[in-house]
Every structure is written in structure tokens, then in C-alpha cells.
Amino acid sequence: MTGLSDPQYLSFPFQIANGGPHTSGRQDHVRQQIEQVLFTSPRERVFRPEFGAGVKQLIFEPNNSVLRESLRQRLMRSLSEALIGEVDPRSLSIEFESTEEKLTVLVEYQLATINRKELHRVDIGTEANNG
């Protein structure tokens, strides 16, 4: 029996095995949601056109403070909405590291129900896994 601290969610990407759909715990679920926001382009989802940050499209953009701040604000809005109830929105922090080959997005947050701090690092670019 699962409790408040260990519910099961459908995993992303969705997969079905002999025993039914793959599931993930709370921590993995939140990380999967973060990656969905990062890799979904705005207007890609018909019924949620505001969803997503589209970071893969930004790889070849100039690395400057204006672009980083614009991306940070877009991510804060999208992540705050996508993670409602799972993450304390006051704890959400987004930082960037970049080289010529890749962009790294660092998302720090606190799981709301269990007060556990997490840091999720996502590498995007030619050296990275490419989501």
C-alpha cells in the first residue's frame, strides 16, 4: 500500500509492459514533469499552447543575459503551473551553465508534501543526451 510520501504515477514516456503501465515514484515523476516542460515547445500542445519552454530551440541562440532571463521567466511560469501541488513554488530556482557545446539547466526545488530538497540537472546539446 502506498502512502502520501510514495504514491505511484504513470511514467513518462508512457510505456506498457506485461504487468501494465510503467509507473514512477514522486521524485521521478517530478523530474519527468520538469523534462516535459523543458523539451516541449510553446504552442506544441493543442489544448495547452502556453505549456513548455522549448529549450532545444535555444541551443544555437547567442548566450547572453537577456536570453537567459527570458528563458528563466518562461521556465518559472511553466514549471510553477506544471508542478502545482508537488513542489513548493517559493523553493523553485533555475540556473544555467553553458559551453559552446551544451546548455545545462539546473532546477532546484522542494517537494511540497515531504519537504525534501531536490536538484535536477538537465544537459541539452551536442555533448548531452539530447533528451
117, part of any domain:
yes
Summarize the confidence of residues 15-20 as an average pLDDT: 84
Alpha helices of 1-131 — where are they, by DSSP H?
Answer: 26-39, 65-82
58-65 contact pairs (CB < 8 A, 24+): 58/103, 59/102, 59/103, 59/124, 59/125, 63/98
7 occurs within a structural domain? no
Give the pairing of strands 23-24 and 9-10: antiparallel
Show the cell assigned to 77.
511560469
State pLDDT tens for residues 63-113. 777 888 888 888 898 899 889 989 988 999 999 887 777 788 999 999 988
Whole domain around residue 31: which residue ranges?
Answer: 23-125
How many CB atoms within 10 Å of residue 123? Answer: 15
Domain-located, residue 131: no
2-16 per-position pLDDT tens digit: 555 567 877 777 788
Does 63 map to a domain?
yes
Number of domains composing the chain: 1
**60 domain-assigned:** yes
In a domain, 74, yes or no: yes
3 domain-assigned? no
Q: Which residues of 22-61 are buried (b: 16+ CB within 10 A; e: fewer)?
A: eeeebeebbbbbbbbbbbbeeeeeeeeeebbbbbbebbee
- Residue type present at position 60: F
pTM (2 decimals)?
Answer: 0.78
Write the CATH number for 78: 3.10.450.40
Domain assignment present for 111: yes
